[in-house]
Amino acid sequence: MSSFITSDVEPLPVHYEKTEYIETDTGNKVSRKSVIHGSQNIILGGKTIIQTECMVRGDLRRSGTAHAVVIAVGKYCLLAAKSLIRPPSKVYKNIFSYYPMKIGDFCHIGEGSIVEAAQIGSHVRIGKNCVIGRFAIVKDNAVILDNTVIAPNCIIPSFSVYGGNPGVLIEELPECWPQIMEREAKTYYSLFTSK
């Protein structure tokens, strides 16, 4: 496996100002400097971190239904600084609508990335400054390298590493990837502590 997928260095604790983050009962850590619209339509699975200046558009919802979940995020996820999560939209049978978006567990979304996918599976690592196009589906256990552009409606298969603009298959991941990503996500959460 290439050396740019995992690092050999022990991860260091990441400290944040105690006043900057809100910690919920379920262990979610949400930065006060993040911009979250429509928070009643967003579900965080627990022990998820939303960092500074991250923007989550929960207001772009399907019209009509009374209480809809627009963005559902799993547990131990990381939405890094300056990233943007918004649901995808399309015209279906002559009606324009935004569709709900689901992110699985143990997902890390890197800094500055724009994610407009329909679904992101579990154990996915998305690098920095990526653009995941509309209605893309990233299956479980995938890695999207830094600065990748994934075209709209793309389906990223499991255990694959995609990179480049346009995103193409670079290499494949080992079968132990879910365990690696799960350990990485849990370690990150445990090291993300207040000063």
Partner 1 sequence: MSTPIGQLPPATITSFGAENIICDDTEIRGATISFGNNNIVHPKSKIMSVGGGAISFGNYNIIEEGVVIINRTTEVLHIGNDNTFEVGSRFEGLSLGNGCVVEPKASILPGTTVGDNCVIGTSCTTWQNDVLESNSVIFGSNNERRKQTPRSKEQSSVHMKHVEYLKDVLKKFHAQKGGVVQAIGIVS
| Shortest reach from residue 61's CB to partner 1, in Å | 7
- Beta strands 95-98; 89-92: pairing state: antiparallel
Q: Which is nearer to partner 1, 9 or 91 (by Cβ)?
A: 91
Q: Which is nearer to partner 1, 77 or 131 (by Cβ)?
A: 131
| Shortest reach from residue 147's CB to partner 1, in Å | 8
Give the amino acid at 136. Answer: A
Q: Which residues bind partner 1 (CB under 8 A)?
A: 35, 37-38, 55, 57, 59-61, 63, 84, 86, 89, 91, 94-98, 114, 116, 129, 131, 133, 147, 149, 164-166
Q: Which is nearer to partner 1, 131 or 173 (by Cβ)?
A: 131
The DSSP code for 185 is H
Strand partners, 100: none
Q: Which is nearer to partner 1, 88 or 121 (by Cβ)?
A: 88
Count of C-beta atoms within a 10 Å radius of residue 142: 24
User: Which residue's entry shows tokens 């928070």?
Assistant: 39
Q: Which is nearer to partner 1, 44 or 84 (by Cβ)?
A: 84
| Shortest reach from residue 164's CB to partner 1, in Å | 6
| Shortest reach from residue 131's CB to partner 1, in Å | 5
| Shortest reach from residue 95's CB to partner 1, in Å | 8
* Whole-number Å distance between alpha carbons of 47 and 28: 4
Q: Which residues fall within 8 angstroms of residue 57, CB to CB, at 6 or more apart? A: 37, 38, 70, 71, 84, 85, 86, 87
Find out whether the peptide bond into 166 is cis, omega within 30 degrees of 0.
Answer: yes
